[in-house]
Structure 1
Amino acid sequence: MSAQASVTATARLHLGFLDMNGGLGRKFGGLGLSLDSPATRLTLTRAPANRVEGPESERAARLLEKAQAALTPDARHSLVVHEAIPAHSGFGSGTQLALAVAAALRRLEDLPHDPAADAAMTSRGARSGLGAGLFATGGVVVDGGRGPQTKTPPVIARAEFPEDWRVLLVSDPTAVGLHGSDEREAFATLPPLSEAASGELCRLVLMQALPALAERELAPFGAAVTRIQEIVGDYFAPAQGGRRYTSAKVEQLVAGLLAEGATGVGQTSWGPTGFAFVESEAAARRLVERFAAAAGAQELALTIHRGLNRGARIEAVYARIA
C-alpha cells in the first residue's frame, strides 16, 4: 500500500454546450479544453481522524467524507490542499477538486481509478461530462450529453490540442460566475434552445472544430468556437444581465483581442473569465504587450496558457518495509 497520494488537476475551459433543446432524448453535451494552469494540488495520507487544511478546505472536507463513505467507510485521512483553482471563475474548480480528492483516496487505498464514477459519486457532472473527461485524458473533449439513464455524460470524442497554439485568458477578480442556486434557477427557467440552433452547434463541433484540430488549422477552429460562443452566449444572456459575458470589462477586452488578430473568443462557462486563441507564443506575447495597459486600467489580468494533452497527475509514495 502507498503511504501518501498526491494529485495535480488543472483548470478547464468550457467552450460551449451543444444541445439545450433535448428533442433527441439527450441534453447539454459540450466542448472543453484542458489548460496547463491554474491547478489544484493536494496530498492525502492516512490518519487517526480526518484533518483537512489549505485553500478550499471546507469544501474539500465535505468531498473527502463523501468519498470515504462510498469507498473506504472505515478509514480516516489527512488532506492538505496546497493550491486550488479559483472558484466560480469558469474553470470547473469544484469538479476538479472533487475528482482529485477521490482519485487520491483511490490511489492511497489501492482502488481502481474511475473519474466518471467519482463524478457521479461526488454529485458533479449534472450537466457536463467535460470535467471528468478532461481529468482523465486532457486535450480537447466532447461529451455526449445527459440521457434518461446517464450517470456521468460520456466522452464521445477527443483531440490533441496543438502544442504551438496558445490560449489568452482575461480574468476579472471583481466578478464571479453564476453558481449554486442561481445557476440551478437559470437552467430551470431558460426556455429550450431551438432545434435549428442546436443543430448548428453540433455541426460546428463535428464538421469544423474537430477536423480543424486534427489538421492543426487555427482559423477554422477559432471561427467555430467564436460562433458557438455567440449562440450559447445569446441563449444564456437573460441570466447574465442581458450580455453574452458576465463581466462587461472582460467582454470589451476580448473584443479588442479579436480585432487585433486573436480568434476563437468567448467566455468559459458562466465566466467571468474570457478567452482567445492565437497561433504561437510570439503572437500571444505581442497581444499581451499590446493590451497590458488597457487590462491594468480595468483591473483585469491577461495571461498566456497552453493546452494540456494529458490528464491529472496522480502519484503515490510507498512506505519502506524495515
Structure 2
Amino acid sequence: MGFIDLSGGLGRHFGSIGVALNEINTRLSVSLADELTVSGPGAERARRCVGRFCEYAGVPDRLHIEIAAAIPEHIGLGSGTQMALAVGAAINRFYGLGLSVREIAQLSDRGARSGIGIGIFEKGGVIVDGGRGPNTATPPVIAQMAVPEPWRFILVFDQRGQGLHGEQEVSAFSELPPFPQAQAERLCYLLLMRGLPALAEQDLAQFGEVITLLQQAVGEHFAPVQGGVFTSPEVAGAMAYLAEQGAVAIGQTSWGPTGFCAVASPEIAAGLLTALQRKFAGSPLSFMIASARNQPAELIGG
C-alpha cells in the first residue's frame, strides 16, 4: 500500500504499509528426494530459493519441492518474498532447524527495502514496518492490526506487462530526486493519527482517504520512472472509475502494474466487479476480489 518515508531524514529509509490477502497466495510442500527437483508454477525461482537457503543454512538440498500455487511474478504482490519465505519455512520445518521467520528472511536475503512481505508472513493483517536504519537486519514491524472481516479489496491487473524489478528497480531509485522530508512527515502524521485510528475504529472512509493520499504522493514521486502515478494507463482509468463509484484506498501496489482499492462489503465488491467486467470488456485488464488474511502463514506437518 505504499512507502511512508522515502526521505530518510531521521536516518531510517523506506518504511511502508501493506496488507495480507487470502485469494492470491503461494502454497508448496517439501519431501525427501535423491536430488533437488522442483515442479509447479514458479519452479525456477523456487529452485534458486532452495539453493540459496540450503547453502546458507548448511543443509542438503536433496529435496523435492511441489508448488501447488504461486503468486504471479513482478506485478506488485510480493511474489519473490513469499516464495523465498515459503521455501525457507518449509525446509526449516523439514529439517527441524528451529529458525524464526526473521532468521529465514535473513538467510533468504529478503527485506532490502519494504518489510511488508516478511511482516504479513509472520503476522498477517495490516502491517506497518519501520524501514531500514544503520543496524537493521530486516525492517521491524511497528504496527499490526486486523482488517474488519467484511472489507474487500478489488485488484486490477494489466495482463500485458510487469512492473519494474531487479536492476531496473535499483536504477529507478538511483534516478529519482530526493523525497521531500516535509512530505514524509505529513504522510507519517496522517498514517499515525488518522489512518491507523480509523482502522481500529473500522472507519473505512477515513482509512481509505489516508491510503489514497499516501499513494498519490508516492505515485507522483515515482512518476518520472514509471510513466505516471500508475504504471499502466489502462489501470489508471479503471481506478478512476472505481473512485467515482465510491471505492476508497485507491492505489498501485509496489511498481505495479496492479491497482487496488477497498470497499466495505462483499456485496459492494461483487457489484463493482460486474460493472468493471462490463465496462472494460475487450481491454487488457482483469479483476479480482480479495479478502484480508488476518493470520500468519500456515505450516502443516513436520
Answer yes or no: same fold by TM over 0.5: yes
1:124 aligns with 2:110: yes
Q: CA deviation at 1:297?
A: 2.5
- Match for residue 239 of structure 1? 225
Matched ranges for 1:52-63 at <5 A: 52-63=38-49
Matched ranges for 1:1-322 at <5 A: 15-74=1-60, 76-241=62-227, 243-316=228-301
Per the alignment, in what secondary structure is the counterpart of residue 37 of structure 1?
Answer: coil
Task: Kindly indicate whether the alpha-carbon contact (under 8 Å) linking 1:37 and 1:305 is maintained by their aligned counterparts in 2.
Answer: yes
Letter matched to residue 195 of structure 1? Q
Q: CA deviation at 1:48?
A: 2.3
Distance 2:295 2:6 in 1: 29
Task: Kindly indicate whether the alpha-carbon contact (under 8 Å) linking 2:50 and 2:61 is maintained by their aligned counterparts in 1.
Answer: no
Task: Kindly indicate whether the alpha-carbon contact (under 8 Å) linking 1:295 and 1:302 is maintained by their aligned counterparts in 2.
Answer: no
Task: Kindly indicate whether the alpha-carbon contact (under 8 Å) linking 2:250 and 2:259 is maintained by their aligned counterparts in 1.
Answer: yes
Q: How many residues align?
A: 302
- Structure 1, unpaired ranges of 5+: 1-14, 318-322
- Match for residue 10 of structure 1? none
Higher percent of residues as strand: 1
Q: CA deviation at 1:187?
A: 1.1
Q: CA deviation at 1:207?
A: 1.0
Per the alignment, in what secondary structure is the counterpart of residue 170 of structure 2?
Answer: helix
Letter matched to residue 180 of structure 2? S
Q: CA deviation at 1:270?
A: 0.5
Per the alignment, in what secondary structure is the counterpart of residue 198 of structure 1?
Answer: helix
Q: CA deviation at 1:261?
A: 0.8
Q: CA deviation at 1:130?
A: 0.8
Distance 2:239 2:59 in 1: 48
TM-score by length of 1: 0.91
Identity of aligned residues (%): 45
TM-score by length of 2: 0.97
**CA shift in 2, pair 1:109/1:206, >3 Å:** same
Once the two structures are overlaid, the 10-residue window that deviates more, 155-164 or 280-289, is 280-289
